[in-house]
Structure 1
């Protein structure tokens, strides 16, 4: 029994390391530097309408929290097991408007893990590759915006309106049709390229009998 206790004590001592202040400051500085790359990429990969300052701050906070978390669990085996059990019962239910935001969240967590485990090279190379990829794909994500198209009018062939809408590239879905005796209202959800919006509006008014055409941002 004493031999078993001695071996367990030796194992716990090997698994328990104390980080010095220099190592902690280096990990936090690395997390700050990589978080700046993350923040800059998120800022320039979005437009003024889609950029969310609070979400950007949350990404930086998440990187720092992940770094501190990794520093803590590396220094104490018992603490790491306790934190693992505590985090396993946490549930986060937040709606993500842009699917790319999920990637930014995981990127932020990877920054903290890389900094906390002293894997600075992996964190730097991965962040640079992700930054380049997000900036290269920025144009496509910005040019196509989700819009709500509301058409009001009277004495117009609705099939002709549908034909004009179908000619616009992207996924166009009918959300509502309100047909009255002397007027109508049509609502579409459209993934509309910015350059196509003016052309489509002009074609709709050329049909005649259109009172108004409204384009609204779907998220706001």
Structure 2
């Protein structure tokens, strides 16, 4: 019985006083928060630079900075004591985020901010810095490739008199018909196409066709609803 008690005491002492679970000094705290803020601002800049959506949200972008700092603070807090870490995990398990994310790429930025915060909180500064630099470079490079050829929706409203001439003009453009709406006075076409270097000179040729009421070119992000 005495040996069992001594073993339990030894187990508790070893678990509660591990080298990993030690007090975080104010220097480590300030250094971690400073690095987290710097990486968060780097994420902020990359998101702003590579954003290709319809409406840019400044508030949403700011959350990446705060998310990096908060995650680093949480990791530094739970690293001081194993009991506290288990309690924190239980508390965070009840949190639910119900905000809809329209662009799947936004999830990447969220995960990036959280991962950087975890690395900083664990004092793995080289991993946080080099990993963030690599991810930022990859996002910038991939976004520039996307700029070269972007999807657009071309919406044309025309009368029956313009149908033949419009068909000849559209045959010169690589496109795909998305929808066609026939109304009493006009026909509305929605076409999907990809453009390079924002070359929209064909729009002038289409609008000059007699019987074309109007033509609109919209950058397609997947959120268009007819």
Residue 201 of structure 2 corresponds to 198
Matched residues in 1 for 2:177 and 2:120: separation?
A: 45
Q: Is the 8 A contact 1:161 1:204 kept in 2?
A: no
> Structure 1: which 5+ runs fail to align?
none
Matched residues in 2 for 1:216 and 1:8: separation?
A: 65
Shift of 1:96: 2.8
> Structure 2: which 5+ runs fail to align?
none
Q: Which moved more, 1:6-15 or 1:19-28?
A: 6-15
Cα 1:29/1:153, change in 2 over 3 Å: same
Shift of 1:43: 2.1
Matched residues in 2 for 1:185 and 1:111: separation?
A: 49
Residue 217 of structure 2 corresponds to 215
For the pair 1:10 / 2:13, whether they are aligned, the reply is yes
Residue 143 of structure 2 corresponds to 138
Cα 1:66/1:203, change in 2 over 3 Å: same
Aligned residues: 216
Matched residues in 1 for 2:164 and 2:12: separation?
A: 80
TM-score where L is the length of structure 1: 0.81
Matched residues in 1 for 2:129 and 2:6: separation?
A: 45
Match of 1:184 among 163, 182, 187: 187
Matched residues in 2 for 1:4 and 1:165: separation?
A: 83
Cα 1:185/1:34, change in 2 over 3 Å: same
Residue 69 of structure 2 corresponds to 64
CA RMSD of aligned residues (A): 3.1
Q: Is the 8 A contact 2:64 2:113 kept in 1?
A: yes
Matched residues in 1 for 2:99 and 2:168: separation?
A: 35
For the pair 1:111 / 2:116, whether they are aligned, the reply is yes
Residue 84 of structure 2 corresponds to 79
Shift of 1:104: 1.4
Shift of 1:21: 1.0
Matched residues in 2 for 1:71 and 1:64: separation?
A: 11
Matched residues in 1 for 2:56 and 2:196: separation?
A: 18
Matched residues in 1 for 2:67 and 2:122: separation?
A: 16
Q: Is the 8 A contact 1:164 1:203 kept in 2?
A: no
For the pair 1:127 / 2:129, whether they are aligned, the reply is no
For the pair 1:167 / 2:173, whether they are aligned, the reply is yes
Q: Which moved more, 1:155-164 or 1:4-13?
A: 155-164
